[in-house]
Amino acid sequence: MTGPCGTCHTLPSVTVDRFDPTPIYLQIAGVLRERIQSGQYAPGQVLPSEQQLQQEFEVARATARRAVEVLRDEGLVVTMPQRGSYVTPK
């Protein structure tokens, strides 16, 4: 099955635990990190857009953006303006 972009696969929706003391953006970053490390998102593959992350996790755009920023700071993704965030080679 393909996702909304027509090329990516639809992933099961994961909810964040709003009662967990861990900030939601760190929970989302953790889910995305796990997907990268497991190979669901391969090196060179584009991550879901901020809008797609908003919809999947039911969060504000700033929260989705901050989650991707964490991964960028860790060196797991690189963001290209107007193109998206891509998984870096291992």
pLDDT digits (tens, 9 = 90+) for 24-83: 999 999 999 999 999 999 999 999 999 999 999 999 999 999 999 999 999 999 999 999
In this prediction the pTM is 0.83
CATH number corresponding to 24-80+83-87:
1.10.10.10
C-alpha to C-alpha distances, 61 to 6, 50, 73, nearest whole angstrom: 22, 6, 18
Residue 38: which of 72, 11, 56 has the closest Cα?
A: 11
H-type alpha helices, the chain:
24-38, 50-57, 61-73
Radius of gyration of the chain (CA): 12
Residue 52 is predicted with a pLDDT of 97
